[in-house]
Amino acid sequence: MDPYNRLAELKLELPPPPQPLPTFVMAAQTGNLVFVSGHIARKDGKPWVGQLGVNMSTQEGQLAARAIGMDLLATLHGSLGDLRRVERILKALCLINSAPAFTEPHLVANGCSELLISVLGDAGRHARSAFGVAQLPLGACVEIELVVQVRNG
Amino acid sequence: MDPYNRLAELKLELPPPPQPLPTFVMAAQTGNLVFVSGHIARKDGKPWVGQLGVNMSTQEGQLAARAIGMDLLATLHGSLGDLRRVERILKALCLINSAPAFTEPHLVANGCSELLISVLGDAGRHARSAFGVAQLPLGACVEIELVVQVRNG
Amino acid sequence: MDPYNRLAELKLELPPPPQPLPTFVMAAQTGNLVFVSGHIARKDGKPWVGQLGVNMSTQEGQLAARAIGMDLLATLHGSLGDLRRVERILKALCLINSAPAFTEPHLVANGCSELLISVLGDAGRHARSAFGVAQLPLGACVEIELVVQVRNG
């Protein structure tokens, strides 16, 4: 399965990769492992602000997590030069900005997991943790980081 | 130290490994590293619901963390085919469902860490982070993920 | 860039490495990867207690994160025997003890990231996630863990 063909079939377009920042990088590689920074959800280029269980539904949270999935793919595309170098998404850490009573962080995280599987196929099937956090940078509703296994370029 | 002998000595029985799920896997391996998904605490096969500092004591939390330790071993047994392939538990991430005033997440996490050491010996000694989170999937009281070094099968 | 010369130039002195604990280790290595345990902020040898957005400013949080950066370097110095064996800080996970309304965990985390870059140069540039948590061990204000790539000794 070619991820670029698959993106086209799904009528999805990779966004530009997130900008580098002065204090950290979006992805750091050692050998065949890439550690990808936590990406916060963005909508129209700005932080997607919200808190699950306060002013955002599980379904909206899934859309935000799906948008992060696209940004993570954009970062991998930019960082590796070719998404086909992704051998496997190994691990996702999914942080959901939550009221103390919101017990569906795993359903929100599915928005990202399903996107990765639908674009990358079995290479997108990963181990995962999902949980509710007290708050996220800039008030974003969801933040997701990855560990990825890559092929040599 | 053979982990199966040690489990028998401790009169502990491995539970059946957690079921695979449509959106993620319980463990993903690359080379000699295995990333194990966050496992939520279960009691009698159902999520072990509770929040530390609200309706659960540190001691109860430790029992829940210990139960997760058994589930993590069950996942490794199922995924590797043989627990003796565990060379070392490298890292645990311990998420404790907490009221904002509960400051003993590390003591709760000890329930899992001590179980891993008592079954695996020095191979169970790991680096660790433990912290209080706003909420967990299905209201579970504790969730723990691992990074594990394994021998070739 | 020699990290010891750089520490001297910055007039910084490595603290003694944190004590080992009965239930976990401060760092666990496999191949060229070192997983470093979450280090809580300390001031005068005691936990640096506080909660961002409650009784602590972003600027104070940055000082606490910077102090953790020094403790992390002390752990690496103690564990590796020589800080020059650090090839790259790959990943930081930055946990900020936060009120639900505090949206600057990333700015707090910069205190550690900037310290690592100023001591290690490009080897200190890492991928990162930062987020607000409900609570931390002993009421500490910040906790940070690392994944580090090292050279053979």
Segment A97-137, tens digit of pLDDT: 999 999 999 999 999 999 999 999 999 999 999 999 999 99
What phi and psi, each to the nearest 5 degrees, are found at residue A2? Answer: -85, 120
| pLDDT tens by residue, B107-148 | 999 999 999 999 999 999 999 999 999 999 999 999 999 999
| Residue of A68, A135, A141 to mutate when probing chain C, most C C-beta within 10 A | A135
Rounded alpha-carbon distances, angstroms, from residue C41 to B35, C10, C107, C114, C137: 27, 20, 16, 16, 10
Mean pLDDT of B76-97: 97
Mean pLDDT of A67-84: 97
Mean pLDDT of A3-32: 94
* Contact A91/B at CB under 8 A: yes
Looking at the complex, report in whole angstroms how far the Cα of residue A105 sits from the nearest Cα belonging to chain B: 6
Give chains near B: 3+ CB pairs under 8 A: A, C
Contact: C135, B103; criterion CB under 8 Å? yes
Q: Can you give the residue range of the structural domain that contains B65?
A: 3-13+33-150
Taking Cα atoms as reference points, which of B144, B18, B5 lies closest to residue B79?
B18
* Contact A8/C at CB under 8 A: no
Looking at the predicted structure, is the pLDDT value of residue B61 above 80?
yes
* Contact C12/B at CB under 8 A: no
- Asked, for residue B23, whether it belongs to a domain, the answer is no
Q: In CATH, what number is assigned to the domain containing residue C124?
A: 3.30.1330.40
Contact: A127, B36; criterion CB under 8 Å? yes
pLDDT classification of A32: cutoffs 50, 70, 90 = very high
- Asked, for residue B102, whether it belongs to a domain, the answer is yes
- Asked, for residue B27, whether it belongs to a domain, the answer is no
Torsion of Cα atoms, B69 then B114 then C143 then C137, to 10°: 110
Cβ atoms of residues A129 and B143 within 8 Å: yes
| pLDDT tens by residue, C58-78 | 999 999 999 999 999 999 999
Question: Into how many domains does chain B fold?
Answer: 1
Q: Which helix (H) or strand (E) holds C37?
A: strand C33-40
- Flag whether the ipTM exceeds 0.90: yes
Taking Cα atoms as reference points, which of A13, C131, C5 lies closest to residue A4?
A13
Sheet of C127-133: strands edge to edge?
A: C27-30, C33-40, C142-150, C86-97, C127-133
| Residue of A25, A30, A56 to mutate when probing chain C, most C C-beta within 10 A | A30
- Asked, for residue C21, whether it belongs to a domain, the answer is no
User: Residues of A numbered 43-82 whose beta carbons fall under 8 angstroms of chain B's beta carbons: which are they?
Assistant: none
- Asked, for residue B114, whether it belongs to a domain, the answer is yes
Residues of chain C with pLDDT under 70: none
